Copies of this chain bind each other. A is one copy, B any other.
Amino acid sequence: MAQMVRIIEVGPRDGLQNEKLTVPTGLKARFVALLAEAGLQEIEATSFVSPKWVPQLGDAAELWAQLPAGTLFSALVPNLKGLERALECGVDRIAVFTAASDAFTHKNINMSIEESLAVFGEILTVFRSARPSGWARGYVSTAFECPYAGRIDPEATAGVVGRLAALGVDEVSIGDTIGAAAPKEVRALHEVLGVEPSKVAWHFHDTRGTAVANVAQAIELGYRAFDASAGGLGGCPYAPGAGGNLATEDLVYFLERSGIATGIDQHRLARASLEVLRHLGREPRSKAQSAILASCE
């Protein structure tokens, strides 16, 4: 049981928010349902962001109404207005989003880190009062490197992680937004983090092929929660050259082959994103997914 790992599937939100094409709500709902059927237990389904900012996720309320029972669904809420909409839909698991780099938060959410933390404080207060047994996570993006500010000092990232934890989130998701980090940097950040591993999830991107190695390192250090995106969907529109999120298929293959049971059906998972990928005109970016699909055909 000490080896059990949580996987937080972020494909429907993080994977789709930056695509040029918008995925129809019905197709999103099928995607989420297939992910749940494959065995994923935690799925970040959408974001209650303004449709003006991110039209790709403008159907958050409609999608939420179509989600199947039996899975833990969460939604990103960027501000009080988004929280209000989310609460109206019955959302009881939320995520808020900041970064370790001011240059990044300015470009991405048009606030300083400080301002974003102030907003989160308000969001969390309202959320806790509306959903006393709800769950909230905070993202810390560009934890290792920022496309605008370059390398980020581990102490700076640890500071933001600590601030978010102090605000009372249940979990901090630490993100390598441009997929630049090597395991050594995960160790370096771990050494200065003042938050216990059980309150941390890692959100690696596989832009340069290091994500699985970073997961392996984090597991060795005692961490047990990882974000991933089916089919390797995703990337960041504000991060030039950024490729996909760590693919859920690659994460699950690595875990299962390492003797860590995930409860996920790898063949179902490999197929779950195919219709969305086809709609977006994209090839699967997951190596394990490609290998599994090749061996099935």
> 5 interchain pairs (CB within 8 A)?
A206-B287, A207-B291, A213-B213, A241-B291, A243-B290
Q: How large is the interface on A (under 10, 10 to 19, 20 to 34, 35 or more residues)?
A: 35 or more
Q: How far is the CB of A282 from chain B (nearest CB, A)?
A: 12
Which chain B residues border A213 with CB–CB below 8 Å?
212-213, 215-216, 254
A171 sits at the interface (CB 8 A):
no
A295 sits at the interface (CB 8 A):
yes
Q: How far is the CB of A75 from chain B (nearest CB, A)?
A: 29
- Alpha-carbon separation in the docked complex, A288 to B182 (Å): 12
Is A291 within 8 A of B208, CB to CB? yes
Which chain B residues border A253 with CB–CB below 8 Å?
208-210
- Alpha-carbon separation in the docked complex, A265 to B59 (Å): 46
Which chain B residues border A240 with CB–CB below 8 Å?
294-295
Question: Digit string of A164-198 for contact with B (CB within 8 Å is 1, else 0)?
Answer: 00000000000000011111110000000000000
Q: Which residue of B lies closest to A207 (CB)?
A: B291
Those of A238-256 within 8 Å (CB) of chain B? 240-243, 247, 250, 253-254
Q: How far is the CB of A181 from chain B (nearest CB, A)?
A: 7
A258 sits at the interface (CB 8 A):
yes
Q: How far is the CB of A281 from chain B (nearest CB, A)?
A: 14
Q: Which residue of B lies closest to A144 (CB)?
A: B257
Is B212 within 8 A of A254, CB to CB? no
Which chain B residues border A185 with CB–CB below 8 Å?
257
Q: Which residue of B lies closest to A182 (CB)?
A: B257
6 further contact pairs, Cβ within 8 A, besides A210-B253, A212-B212: A206-B287, A209-B253, A240-B294, A240-B295, A243-B290, A243-B294
Is A287 within 8 A of B217, CB to CB? no
